[in-house]
Structure 1
Amino acid sequence: MDWKKSLNIAAIGFVAWLLIIEWSNFQDDVASQIPQQESELTIPQPSQLPTLETQQVNQFSDELPLLIDTPAAVVETRVDARLVTVTTDAVEVTIDTLGGDIVQVKLLKHLTKMSEDGGEPFTLLTRSSKNEYIAQSGLIGKNGTDTREGRGAYSTSASQFSLEPNQSALNVDLTLNQNGVRLVKRFSFSRSGYVIGVSYLINNSGYEPWEATFYGQIKRDSHEPLVESSGGIQPYLGAALREADKNFAKHDFSDIQDETVKSSIEGGWVAMVQHYFVSAWIPPGDQKNNFSLRKLSGQDVYLMGFTGEKINVASGSYGEYMAQFYVGPKDQAKLEELAEYLDLTVDYGFLWMLAKPIFAAMKFIHEVVGNWGWSIILLTIGIKILLYPLSAASLRSMAKMRSLQPKMERLKETYGDDRQKMSQELMGLYKKEKVNPAGGCFPMLLQMPVFLALYWVLLESVEIRHSPWIFWIDDLSAKDPYFILPLVMGASMLLMQKLQPMPTDPTQAMVMKIMPIAFTFFFMIFPSGLVLYWTVNNLLSMFQQWYVNRQLASASAVKK
């Protein structure tokens, strides 16, 4: 039996199986199933406004508040009059002064589609009649602002805030007077950052000690992200958090629906993850925080949040509490800076230890060449050079096996009916010629983790979203509109087969012939950046095979 070819086909089949798994998650037309993004914030009716369900005071630090509808009589002001808009270079944020929730975030540097196609700022957080994805925060407990009777109604100096040209930071203060205690809920913004500081400044001028607990949570329904399809791929959508025994724990909506998730850890974070973008609450790193993921019974509402340690402010004194809320692209460097292991929301899967240095190398190349398409090509070349010793060993083994084909055919004709004798003679031939039948396969298998890691890097990198290469490829994160790259990739696979002898087994030969056609169809719906990588890799493999064959031919000629 030709073990080399069987193992090679098994390796190709393994890759095909992985691609089929990805393909099974594809959508024929994702955009037609995604709700259209609304240009204006839709204001919910008073009966839809959130408040908090009554709980025992001593339980507030252990349990995030549940949401119930507020009676219409509680709300006395017009809802639109409560909204405050803050604009920086990076975001446009809308805050509801009833409770101080972030009810809409538009990412000004990330568009719904290419700008020439009419792209608008991408709305990540929204509160509309169709969808709800907001960031809530407040105070609960003995002197909390959020109770069954309602939420704190804050006041502010203006309804519009923006950074002036000479400003690098901006604070937006919401104020509330509470029985001699002045509360300031402060939202802090930077010019081009995606981190929003959310802090409480407590000035207790009353006669009694003041006590409450801060909570922050992401409230979301299960709607698909308001973003166009990226090459037909639908990656992970769901919650993630750091747990005591796991640095990065993912829980999708179905997991949360089945079982509430609770965790308690010093520091930590809780996030809502989708393709390219993430929102996350980051509490103080030096305090013990309680995290919870749960679904409200009978509602399409998921809550992902935390409660911090109790805040105590003595009479006549001053207290402060601060958390951070990140809402924006999956910027690995910034996420790593914000909290330990938060950068793992850029999910490279089990090959993250290879993917992270690969991404770092690709980013370095981009800083030099300034184009992500050429960065992918140069990175692929660099990887092929690094792995050349393995590739060369594989190709030499394949060439030696090819040279033994006539002798193997004669053995098959002579001992075809006696499998035991055939195997003995084949092993003797391999030993005599000093050939390892698996030598052509194992080096290829050793390269596979690197190629799969690069696949995930290209899939997860927000930097590649809406990035052009050359000519008709104006978005490396979208599929090739004319399918030129997939056809070139399929042709390169056919040419590679021409350079290698086909297996003598008819079934194996048929599988080898079908592979280029199957891969071509798979890659037609893949992002063009992935297809570019695979095409360049195939072309480099063809060149390496030609070069090794030439070396072996020269060595053979010298011996003669």
Structure 2
Amino acid sequence: MDWQRTGILAAAAVVALVLAKQWIGFSERYDAELATRIAAQQPQTATADDFSAQAPTNGDSTDAPGGDNFVPEVTQATDPAAVTTTASASGQTIEVITDVARVLINPKGGDIVRVELLDIFKDLDSKQPFLLLSNDANQVYEAQSGLIGKNGTDQSSQRPVFASDKTQYTLSEGDDTMYVDLNYQQGDVAITKRFTFERGDHAIDVEYIINNQSSEAWSGAMFGQVKRDNHQPPKTGAGFGVSPFLGAAITTVDENYKKYKLEEIGELSADKRRTEITGGWVAMVQHYFVSAWIPPQESNNLFTLRRQGEYNFLTFQTSEFVVPAGEKLNVKAVFYAGPKDVDRLEALAPHLDLTVDYGWLWWIAKPLFHLLDFIHGIIGSWGWSIVILTLIIKLIFFYPSAISYRSMAKMRKLQPMLADLKERYGDDRQKMSGELMKIYKKEKVNPFAGCLPMLIQMPVFISLYWMLMESVELRHAPFLGYIKDLSVMDPYFILPVLFGITMFVQQKLQPTPPDPMQAKIMQFLPIIFTVMFLFFPAGLVVYWVVNNTLSIAQQWVITRQIEKEA
């Protein structure tokens, strides 16, 4: 009996620790850090687009592309607001509006300096678009790209200033594709930087068209990078703020998904800062959202992670290419800035979908998400999809659960006998253990049968937790009328209270521990878990309430059967 109860307590403790570990820090701490960082920023006047890109050399200089000191990066910061506001006021910033995004492009360098997600709200009250990338007083987070190398336009302290036909482009009704061309003349070489936007898509094709009408060959390489400071994204949830992973992710030859926290980037050794791979990608990951550069997949690309001053740079560089005299060449990369859409990321590049970080149990969590998504496609409600998914999981584990509940029911039947043994042999543990084994053998009860099925199901519980935590689809998804957002806590705490009640009822159907101290701990568990679940996302609590309710029904039926048999 002690072994069974201890096993159940241990299983519950592990689940509680895994769940509670993710919910750390109060909103005051976040707000204080943000206020301190903003207050520390000082306006500066240097241009934000000065690059220290070096031309490639034939030697082993560390300043060559691929060398340890090479990275196309901003050498001087600027007043972030001046980059966007001043340019916009002078009519220089190029504004692109599609059905899902508003994008600002700086003609100097052709960098993407702002991305607003029009199809995703910052919050339900303001209905403002979610701001992912921006270069302003609150954050520096932008996507830079250019041409480097022998004839590259982006050399040290110099970047091209592109011309465009318009300063505002809008995707028209009925059109599925929109092209935004920026033009630059480099002597007899005409260079077009083309941005391609598709309806309903957060991926942007960034293509360089190099038309070499000179008498000599043109050579260079394309680079793209995410430049980001250390600001924390807006907290998710309410009350307690969730602290998921924030940092860089990359795919390597040895690992499909390798990630580094922001604070780790500046501490990377030389061999970990750089990696070469055919294809590949590099991404900046935060809760629910990701920005990523996907270079040409047929090219052998160099990837670099680096900290320079207060900024982090996630860079790719293609292998060098040559445009013969009188010929034209196109080189294209894809920049994605949007929600963690598993299917879209999976289609963009191999293993990019792993940025939807389900943890080490991803191989369970990912099929669970696809099943949840399939159910949602039929019924159209994420809340009811969770209910049906819970029912399916319960059916899958019906037999292991039945074994556990049957064992608990038999142990409950043996309570009077166990109490008698404790009274007679309470001081003689060896004698009491021997008598217990005799009773278990006579009544055909396995004390371990109750906790083993629970341990088998734990990986599913944990992976489901991660899946629900990482699914951006639950963000602002309504349920049951009063719940406007399944990704934040229940505003009226109805679901957590129901969870506590169902957990209490479950305990009443289970045998009482013979140890008084253990019995007291079990009595407090529903209260402890209820308090903890007050701050959990409503979608996760929906799962537990439904799971507990189905468990109560199954356990009650099995207990009645055992009592009838007796």
User: Is this a same-fold pair by TM over 0.5?
Assistant: yes
Q: Deviations over 1:94-139 (max 9, x none)?
A: 100100100000100001011xx22201110001023100000001
Alignment of 1:40-79 (within 5 A): 45-54=45-54, 56-58=56-58, 59-62=64-67, 63-69=70-76
CA change 1:101–1:472 in 2 (3 A) is same
- Cα RMSD (Å): 2.3
The answer for the alignment partner of 2:82 in structure 1 is none
Q: Which moved more, 1:359-368 or 1:25-34?
A: 25-34
What residue identity is the alignment partner of 1:179? Answer: G
Matches within 5 A, 1:44-443: 45-54=45-54, 56-58=56-58, 59-62=64-67, 63-69=70-76, 80-114=90-124, 117-226=125-234, 229=237, 232-259=241-268, 261-296=273-308, 299-443=309-453
Cα distance in 2 for partners of 1:277, 1:226 equals: 12
Identical aligned residues as a percent: 46
Quote the offset at 1:49 in angstroms.
3.3
Pairing of 1:7-18 with structure 2 (within 5 A): 7-18=7-18
Determine the C-alpha separation between the residues in 1 that align with 2:559 and 2:478: 37
Change (3 A) 1:70 1:519: closer
Asked if 1:444 is matched to 2:454, the reply is yes
1:23 match: 23
Aligned-partner SS, 2:245: coil
Distance 1:506 1:136 in 2: 65
Q: Distance in 2 between matches of 1:323 and 1:23?
A: 37
User: How far off is 1:71 after superposition?
Assistant: 11
- Distance across 1 between alignment mates of 2:191 and 2:457: 59
* 2:496 corresponds to 1:486: yes
* Displacement after TM superposition at 1:382 (Å): 1.2
Q: CA separation of 1:162/1:468 partners in 2, compared to 1, >3 Å: closer, same or farther?
A: same
Letter in 2 for 1:473: I
Shift of 1:536: 1.2
Counterparts in 2 of 1:475 and 1:29: CA distance versus 1, 3 Å: farther
List runs of 5+ in structure 2 lacking aligned partners.
59-63, 80-85
SS of corresponding position for 2:23: helix
Q: CA deviation at 1:498?
A: 1.7
Offset of residue 453 of structure 1:
1.2
Alpha-carbon offset, residue 82 of structure 1:
2.7
Deviation at 1:47, TM superposition (A): 3.3
Deviation, structure 1 residue 390: 0.7
Secondary structure of residue in 1 paired with 2:293: strand
Provide the rounded CA distance (Å) in 2 between the counterparts of 1:236 and 1:514.
32
After TM superposition, the structure 1 stretch with the greater mean CA deviation from structure 2, 506-515 or 303-312, is 506-515
Unaligned runs of 5+ in 1: none
- Amino acid paired to 2:219: E
| 1:199 to 1:97, Cα distance in 2 relative to 1, 3 A | same
Distance 1:162 1:307, change over 3 A: same
Q: Letter of the 2:215 partner, please give it.
A: Y
Identify the residue that residue 540 of structure 2 maps to in structure 1.
530
Shift of 1:425: 2.2
Distance 1:175 1:70, change over 3 A: farther
- After superposition, the C-alpha distances for 1:273-309 in whole angstroms (9 at most, x for unaligned) are 111111100011112111111111xx22000111111
Residue aligned with 2:542, SS: helix
Aligned length: 544
TM-score, L = length of structure 2: 0.92
Tell me which residue corresponds to 1:552.
562
Q: Aligned AA for 1:401?
A: M
**Residue identity matched to 1:198:** V
Q: Please give the secondary structure, in 1, of the residue aligned with 2:259.
A: strand
